[in-house]
Every structure is written in C-alpha cells, then in structure tokens.
Amino acid sequence: MTDIHYLLAGLIFASFAVSSVRDTDNPKRWGNAAFWALVAVSFWLGDILGDTANGVLVLALVGLAGVHALGRSAGESTSTQERQTFSERYGNRLFLPALIIPFTAFIGTLLFTYTPLKSSGLIDPKSVTLVLLGVGVVIALILSYVWLRPPPLAAVDEGGRLANAIGWALVLPQMLAALGAVFAAAGIGTTIGALAGEVIPHGSVFLAVLLYGLGMVVFTMIMGNAFAAFPVMVAAIGVPILIHEDGGRAAVIGAVGMLTGYCGTLMTPMAANFNIVPAALLELRNQYGVVKVQVATAIPLLICNILILYFAGFHL
C-alpha cells in the first residue's frame, strides 16, 4: 500500500507539470513543468535510479530553482467577485473536505486494530497513518467533485496554480528530512553526543534536557525543519543520554523533542515554506515579517516544552 502512495504522489506532481504546460499566461511555464516532472520521476523511479542518478536529479531541481526558472502565473482562475459569491454561498462548509483528511487519518489509525484490515495484510501496521492519510485525500477529492461540481480539470489546474505560487519551497521539507538522515548516517549525532557527554555532568538530567531542547532548536533553525534536526539530536543526546543513561520516557523524549524543534521553525527564514513563502504570497513589505511576529510565541513555547520534557519525561 505504501508503494501506491508513491505512485499517487508522483501522479500529482506529474499533473502539476501538465498544468504548468497548459498555463500559457506564465512565461516560465516550461521551467515549472520541468521541475514538477523531475519531482514526479523521483517518486516513481527513485528506488530504481540509484543514489548517483537521484543525486543528479536533485542537483537539476536545485539548478532550476537557482536560475529562477520557476514562476507563478499572473492570471487568476476566478475573479474576486466570483470568489466572494462562492464564499457567501457555502461559508465555512468549504473547509469540510480539508477536515476529512486529518479526521480519516486520526480516527482510522485508532480503529485500525479493531478492523479486519489488520489481519488482512493489505496495510503494513507501521504505515497505517500514512495510508489512511492518502485515503482521506481521495475521499475529500471525490466529495469535493460530487458536492461542488467543478470543471473536470479543476483539481489539476488549481493544484498546479498553488504549487507554482509556492514554487521550490514545496519540496523543501522532503529535502531537509533527507538531509537529516544523511547527517545521521554520517555520524554527526554520534560526534555531538560525544561532545555533550564531556560537557554534561553525570546525573545532571536538567542540563541534558536543556541541551537536547536547545540543540533541536539550533539545528532546526540551521536546516529549516525539525525533521532534519530530529535524527541528529536523538542520536546525540535523546537516546544515549536521556533514555539509556538517565532512564527518561522514550515517548516523551521523542514527541516533545520534535515539538521543541518546531519552536526553531518559527524563528528561522530557512523554513522558507512556512515563513518566507507566506510573506511573498501576502506581499508583505518585510520578507521576514512572519518570523519577527512568531518569535514572541516561539520562546515561551520553548520554555514550556523544556519543562514538559523534564517533568513528564523523568518525574511524572
């Protein structure tokens, strides 16, 4: 079932490429089409191409973005008046299809154990949430077509328009997560762990928690995503020191540690898809305006997460 997700994901990016070619109002449509087509190839054939070919593919994506071959169309699919009329007609019910996706993933994961699907072997128990997330997307798409009756290619065209508005930042989380895996495989976490072991006095749980939390924030700010920082800091401090040496609760160390990293996401322009793209789409005068506003939220959250790591991980 997981392979089907890669197939469908590749199909979505291929549809973005087709939509880009059809967007004759966009002077950079061929650059957009090439970019999304390469992303589709990576999903479809990534395990067949091998490491070298995949590396060349990533460099090609970086090259297209680096020479500014991507761009958004100046045209709009609907007028402001049409969107206003649509909003007044349906109101907040327009959010229902979007809510179906997380609802399906959450409820389905909770009920999976009590359904015949568990014993059928169709779904790997490790991939239940991922599979049901995809199922939720399909259900939401079908419901949208049945309910709103848009043109047949509306999903392709609107999806492509949104993808081109976001641009290369759309695939940034995937690349940063891969970067984190590369860092972990290179032994960066082990090296940091050795240094941390020399700095942290034996039995000083709070200092270890503090370094773990701050490390998650710093690495997240450098690499732009907590997914990239997580494997490094877990290998450095989370598992060897907090769990094995100090006896902390693994679930708390993992879950809250990841949440701590997101405090760094709020404070860095490297998280372009979260902080820079919204500023561009909203046409803010200061491209770092989103980051500046979020700092006041990120710091109190960081303090709370560190306290939760310490008390829930070791004292409750």
What is the tens place of the pLDDT at every residue in 136-151?
Answer: 888 999 998 998 888 8
**Whether residues 106 and 153 fall in one domain:** yes
**Whether residues 127 and 260 fall in one domain:** no
From residue 20, alpha-carbon distances to 31, 120, 139, 168 in Å are 9, 41, 25, 14
The answer to whether 248 and 242 have CB atoms below 8 angstroms apart is: yes
pLDDT tier at 9 (50, 70, 90 boundaries)?
confident
- 175 domain residue, yes or no: no
From residue 89, alpha-carbon distances to 83, 96, 145, 155, 162 in Å are 10, 14, 16, 20, 23
The answer to whether 176 and 38 have CB atoms below 8 angstroms apart is: no
**Whether residues 276 and 163 fall in one domain:** no
Q: Provide the number of structural domains found in the chain.
A: 2
- 172 domain residue, yes or no: no
Q: Which of 167, 195, 223 is the last residue of a domain?
A: 167
- Cα separation, 150 vs 141, in Å, equals 11
- 130 domain residue, yes or no: yes
Q: What is the pLDDT of residue 80?
A: 75
- Cα separation, 13 vs 193, in Å, equals 39
- Cα separation, 250 vs 273, in Å, equals 30
Nearest to 257 by CA among 216, 222, 288, 292: 216
Domain that holds residue 100: 2-167
**Whether residues 50 and 192 fall in one domain:** no
**Whether residues 10 and 155 fall in one domain:** yes
- 124 domain residue, yes or no: yes
The two tokens of residue 207 are 């200092």
The two tokens of residue 285 are 């005068």
- 179 domain residue, yes or no: no
- Cα separation, 229 vs 219, in Å, equals 5
Instruction: Considering only CA atoms, give the Rg of the chain.
Output: 22
**Whether residues 131 and 71 fall in one domain:** yes
Q: What is the pLDDT of residue 2?
A: 54
**Whether residues 134 and 17 fall in one domain:** yes
pLDDT in tens, 233-257: 888 888 888 999 888 899 999 999 9
- 176 domain residue, yes or no: no
pLDDT in tens, 10-55: 899 999 999 888 888 888 889 999 999 999 999 898 888 888 898 8
**Whether residues 268 and 191 fall in one domain:** yes
The answer to whether 132 and 108 have CB atoms below 8 angstroms apart is: yes
Its pTM surpasses 0.75: no
**Whether residues 151 and 75 fall in one domain:** yes
- 177 domain residue, yes or no: no
- Cα separation, 97 vs 302, in Å, equals 33
* 107 sits in which H/E element: helix 96-111
From residue 179, alpha-carbon distances to 65, 112, 220 in Å are 18, 32, 12
- 259 domain residue, yes or no: yes
